[in-house]
Amino acid sequence: MAEAPSASATTSSAIIDFERSPAAYRHWKLSFDGEVAELIMDVDENATLFEGYQLKLNSYDLGVDIELADALQRLRFEHPEVKVVVLKSGKDRVFCAGANIRMLAGAAHAHKVNFCKFTNETRNGMEDSSQFSGQKFICAVKGTAAGGGYELALSCDRIILADDGNSTVSLPEIPLLAVLPGTGGLTRVTDKRKVRRDLADVFCTTEEGVRGKRAVQWRLVDQSVPNSKFDAAVAEMVRELAAQSDRPADAKGITLTPLARTVAGDTIAYSSLKIEIDRQARRATILIQGPDLPPPSDTAQIHTQGAAFYPLRLARELDDAILHLRLNELEIGTLVFKSQGDPAAILAYDALMRENAGHWLVREILNNWKRVLKRIDVTSRSLVALIEPGSCFAGTLAEILWACDRAYMFAGTMTGDNRPEATVTLNELNFGRYPMSNGISRLETRFLGELGSMDRAKAAMGTPLDATDAESLGLVTESFDEVDWDDEVRIFLEERASFSADGLTGLEANLRFAGPETMETKIFGRLTAWQNWIFQRPNAVGADGALKRYGTGVKGDFDPERV
Amino acid sequence: MAEAPSASATTSSAIIDFERSPAAYRHWKLSFDGEVAELIMDVDENATLFEGYQLKLNSYDLGVDIELADALQRLRFEHPEVKVVVLKSGKDRVFCAGANIRMLAGAAHAHKVNFCKFTNETRNGMEDSSQFSGQKFICAVKGTAAGGGYELALSCDRIILADDGNSTVSLPEIPLLAVLPGTGGLTRVTDKRKVRRDLADVFCTTEEGVRGKRAVQWRLVDQSVPNSKFDAAVAEMVRELAAQSDRPADAKGITLTPLARTVAGDTIAYSSLKIEIDRQARRATILIQGPDLPPPSDTAQIHTQGAAFYPLRLARELDDAILHLRLNELEIGTLVFKSQGDPAAILAYDALMRENAGHWLVREILNNWKRVLKRIDVTSRSLVALIEPGSCFAGTLAEILWACDRAYMFAGTMTGDNRPEATVTLNELNFGRYPMSNGISRLETRFLGELGSMDRAKAAMGTPLDATDAESLGLVTESFDEVDWDDEVRIFLEERASFSADGLTGLEANLRFAGPETMETKIFGRLTAWQNWIFQRPNAVGADGALKRYGTGVKGDFDPERV
């Protein structure tokens, strides 16, 4: 755990920007050697996101994690040749001390929750890279990997620990901080590493952690190796994992160019979407703009377009927009998704990607959409889609409708408006290419209770469905014609804004994830919900709680009452 | 929802007793007609568990639910002939208004959490009766079934709703109270009734609820029937479900006699176990006493012994002990399980039950053990087993070892003590007869990461395993001999007592449930954890929150910030 600096942390009102470029990294170093990349964590203790703390001992705040997420994204897109990523520390005697305690102690509840959500998404993304992008991770731990430091290791395919009397893995949150290892730690210990539950209990309550052979016996790490043999063991592990990778050997990456983004008052404009914020109504509208150009003809041209290729460009912009709203606009309780454009163009892009789904770059773009859609799924805001004349919710973009809590569709046309009637069109991508974190598609989750509905939806693929058809197929919540549309939408939005923000958070977190559970849903359900509860409890966050007292030498003054 | 009385509720310091007898029921009426029982909810508004509220409109508090749990238990054991239970209201125009709001508003956080846990267990128990005891439930709703009222209906196999313009089902918690329908409501709507998520969203935000055809279309109820045809439709449903039941036609029930229980200071003695509380150490020891007599020879004699039959007697006493500690001893953070007796006697009782597992009464006893063990699993206290010389953790009782967070075993004998060396013995009941709420056995959950361990454990069935063997088979956490035992146990117990109660609650709730998830684990994981979080948030429980303002005509004053 990080040493506590003396000043107390304060969250500033500065906008958190999620855009990064490797040249400006303060905390991570990437180096490349053929099919292997080294990702070295070397946190600049003074380059903090907020004032009031220092990032000692490779501890991290959200700023460090934003760089990590950027690096992972570049590894996927800019480095198709990389089959194995070796994660190391740039510090002596410490691998990573986890999330910075002073930062956590000073952060507002909402920031803590959103910080954890983002770091969880980043770690889930590493497992996604491993499983679906052929990019494997080895965590080479020298020194102490404590708390979030060990949780980072847990996200890798393999963990190798130096057997040197100093290097340990630990989850000391309970004894030191009275909070949980909430970045997937508990879930990955039980469900990924499958550590026996009583040993996991011992491990999670042992401040000093576990090292050497015991760490291997308990399955906390895969290997414990003396320093003299460490590099050779890592190299052997690299060979083993590289052999499992299906990354292309001779492909060239594309560059993830900076996002085109302009802010003017309460409007944020990207190249393919626009956010408009209505502060009084506590609502943001995200308007997605269809492509200007038809799709290119082959993968070579997709590659040439690179980050400008519409589906990739839109996904990156949408991701940035969601993150911005989550972290910087806490009082905006409802996100309204709209689109304008030619559904046929969306379907044409989808068709091109489907036909070339095996190409590494197309695969990355589709995987990226999957992750962006999952990010929407777990966004703690009420999500509603308004399907209006001229909209283009088709194929990939139609997934947004079912990520939303509700979708309303305009029936017919508007008087004095020559935009075409609203339609929804399905294609193959809606039937499995974008699984939710529960492992099944949004349509399958939606139709758990009515198997016939899946068949009917499949039979409708390719057909532009008007409001009547979309409603009868169960694809939208309700449709209204011109007479009722404005009132019905207004009433819904006003009603939503009148409910308790917390009540809605809990409601939505439960209703969105019917059906099977996975390690990911456990992390966002069970683990995160309990952590959020603890983040409200005086034993952790009160004036005499463990987070506030950390580093003072005085233990938290705990209320012994159990619930 | 219940009308709010004017006085504010206060939790009293009186001990909550879980023992009930039908003659003294204040809130429920049971009547019998051959294979059908009617369970009528007719809450006495003045018979509250605490002061400060009235149970208007068939709203409930823990006292009402304790009677319900008692009635369900008697239906299982005292009425083998009952195949179908019809749940009705004894009030006009209201089925059940759910948990009493004023009670919730006045209750301490820990009471709210424990109240919800118990009501959840009772409702899970109804589904357990249906699935494993052949006792099916029909909820015949006339009038409004709101919140917990509808959640009670959701626990039944079938819901039939009067189509009379007045009868509705609703989950108005979010619009009215800013909390979740936390007694399984959200989970059963999505995962049992498989209501489409956007319709579930509409339903859970519609204060007035849904009725008639729409309630059927959305799968909220199974049938909507006019009053003129209501009784006939219920009768038809009874016939259908009775045909699915495997309850015996001509068996006679046994009587669940009052528990033998004496309280003397901090010692509570039952016939087969004893609780000793050490307040300073915040610890309770539960000492299980093995049987005095060998098992009877056949099911007729089991029936004659009835509630005195050792396995049933112990299970009922253990259940009562756990509930007492949960609700009445909030500061007792650690439960220590010990046993004394002849392991061979435990195994002999188990063998008798296994050989007669198909007999209705034996089946009920085994099902009851399953539920009691699940109750231990979800008990929010640190659980530790101490396996000492003379103990009898064998077969069914060995399950307790793996319900615990840790199990320590004494190696060898104690100087000057002639009790036999501690052993653990497995039998067939440890391999599937007592699944956890995740649907798999405790041993399977324990050995998720090591399949060979299950085979080794199976091969060891019937062999008394000493500390060395038990430890090497992974059945206990660690063993110590006489030299280290006292110190090691003391250090562990002291360390445990030093940790944050809330941190431990979250830790244990995560580590105990590796592996698959079920509707039950979702209820205790995702839904409960979010509800507990909301129960801490000012929007719900603050002075201006919705629970406090309910009934004043003034809406909660909500902080709009989202997390």
- Give how far A376 is from chain B: nearest CA, Å: 14
pTM: 0.96
Asked if B191 lies within 8 A of A496 by C-beta distance, the reply is no
Residue A115 has pLDDT above 70, yes or no: yes
- Give how far B352 is from chain A: nearest CA, Å: 31
- Give how far A560 is from chain B: nearest CA, Å: 5
How many residues make up chain A in this entry?
563
For position B13, what pLDDT does the model report?
62
Q: Which residues of B touch A503 (CB under 8 A)?
A: 173-174, 177-180, 534, 539-540, 546
Q: Other CB atoms closer than 10 Å to residue B202's CB: what's the count?
A: 18
Q: What is the pLDDT of residues B491-500, one digit of tens each?
A: 999 999 999 9
Is A113 an 8 Å CB contact of chain B? yes
Q: What is the pLDDT of residues A337-364, one digit of tens each?
A: 999 999 999 999 999 999 999 999 999 9
A-B Cβ pairs (cutoff 8 Å, strict): 300
Q: B1: pLDDT confidence band, cut at 50, 70 and 90?
A: very low
**φ, ψ at B506 (rounded to 5°):** -65, -40
Closest of A461, A447, A448, A481 to residue A394, by C-alpha: A461
For position A13, what pLDDT does the model report?
62
Query: Looking at residues A285-303, what average pLDDT do you find?
Result: 97
Asked if B198 lies within 8 A of A531 by C-beta distance, the reply is no
Half-sphere exposure of B281 (CA within 13 A, CB side): 18
The span from the CA of A289 to the CA of A97, in Å, is: 43
Q: B557: pLDDT confidence band, cut at 50, 70 and 90?
A: confident
Cβ(A28)–Cβ(A39) below 8 Å:
yes
For position B553, what pLDDT does the model report?
84
Q: Which residues of B touch A529 (CB under 8 A)?
A: 525-526, 529-530, 532-533
Residue of B174, B202, B445, B510 for testing the chain A interface, max A β-carbons within 10 Å: B510
Query: Looking at residues B242-265, what average pLDDT do you find?
Result: 96
Does residue B122 sit in helix, strand or coil?
helix
DSSP state string for B7-33: SPPB---SPPP----GGG-SSEEEEEE
Closest of B240, B205, B197 to residue B83, by C-alpha: B240
Q: A9: pLDDT confidence band, cut at 50, 70 and 90?
A: very low
Cβ(A77)–Cβ(A253) below 8 Å:
yes
Is A520 an 8 Å CB contact of chain B? no
Among chain A residues, CA nearest to B504: A174
Q: What is the pLDDT of residues B70-82, one digit of tens each?
A: 999 999 999 999 9
Residue with structure tokens 């909301």?
B534
Q: What is the mean pLDDT of chain B?
A: 95
Q: B9: pLDDT confidence band, cut at 50, 70 and 90?
A: very low
Q: What is the pLDDT of residues A22-31, one digit of tens each?
A: 999 999 999 9
Q: Which residues of A touch B448 (CB under 8 A)?
A: 190-191, 194
Residue of B180, B334, B563 for testing the chain A interface, max A β-carbons within 10 Å: B563
Could you tell me the two tokens for A526? 């069970």
Is B351 an 8 Å CB contact of chain A? no
Residue of A475, A511, A535, A544 for testing the chain B interface, max B β-carbons within 10 Å: A511
The span from the CA of A509 to the CA of A524, in Å, is: 9
Residue B312 has pLDDT above 50, yes or no: yes
Asked if B500 lies within 8 A of A407 by C-beta distance, the reply is no
For position A525, what pLDDT does the model report?
93
- Give how far A527 is from chain B: nearest CA, Å: 7
Q: What is the pLDDT of residues A405-443, one digit of tens each?
A: 999 999 999 999 999 999 999 999 999 999 999 999 999
Is B34 an 8 Å CB contact of chain A? no
Give CA separation, A378 vs A327, A428, A525, B361, in Å.
13, 24, 10, 47
Q: What is the pLDDT of residues B262-283, one digit of tens each?
A: 999 999 999 999 999 999 999 9
Give the single-character DSSP code of A4: P
For position A451, what pLDDT does the model report?
81
Q: What is the mean pLDDT of chain A?
A: 95
Q: Which residues of B touch A557 (CB under 8 A)?
A: none
Residue A395 has pLDDT above 80, yes or no: yes
The span from the CA of A237 to the CA of B556, in Å, is: 58
Closest of B469, B321, B516 to residue B400, by C-alpha: B321
Among chain A residues, CA nearest to B563: A110
Residues above pLDDT 70, as percent of chain A = 98
Could you tell me the two tokens for A439? 């492992």
Q: A450: pLDDT confidence band, cut at 50, 70 and 90?
A: confident
Query: Looking at residues B124-135, what average pLDDT do you find?
Result: 98
Among chain A residues, CA nearest to B519: A515
For position B450, what pLDDT does the model report?
87
Q: A459: pLDDT confidence band, cut at 50, 70 and 90?
A: very high
Among chain B residues, CA nearest to A497: B560
For position A558, what pLDDT does the model report?
94
Q: What is the pLDDT of residues A212-229, one digit of tens each?
A: 999 999 999 999 999 999
The span from the CA of B461 to the CA of B438, in Å, is: 24
Among chain A residues, CA nearest to B112: A563
Is A530 an 8 Å CB contact of chain B? yes
Interface predicted TM-score (ipTM) of this complex, two decimals? 0.95
In degrees to the nearest 10, what's the CA dihedral of A468, A469, A471, A473? 160
- Give how far A405 is from chain B: nearest CA, Å: 5
For position A443, what pLDDT does the model report?
98
Asked if B511 lies within 8 A of A204 by C-beta distance, the reply is yes
How many residues make up chain B in this entry?
563
Query: Looking at residues A76-85, what average pLDDT do you find?
Result: 98
Could you tell me the two tokens for A559? 């209320």
Q: Which residues of A touch B194 (CB under 8 A)?
A: 448-450, 514
B-contacting residues in A 270-329 (Cβ below 8 Å): 282
Residue A232 has pLDDT above 80, yes or no: yes
Query: Looking at residues A314-323, what average pLDDT do you find?
Result: 98
Half-sphere exposure of B315 (CA within 13 A, CB side): 25
Q: B554: pLDDT confidence band, cut at 50, 70 and 90?
A: confident
Residue A473 has pLDDT above 60, yes or no: yes
The span from the CA of B316 to the CA of B257, in Å, is: 10
Q: Which residues of A touch B533 (CB under 8 A)?
A: 502, 506, 529, 532-533, 536
Is B496 an 8 Å CB contact of chain A? yes
Asked if B563 lies within 8 A of A499 by C-beta distance, the reply is no
Q: B369: pLDDT confidence band, cut at 50, 70 and 90?
A: very high
Q: Which amino acid is at A115?
A: F
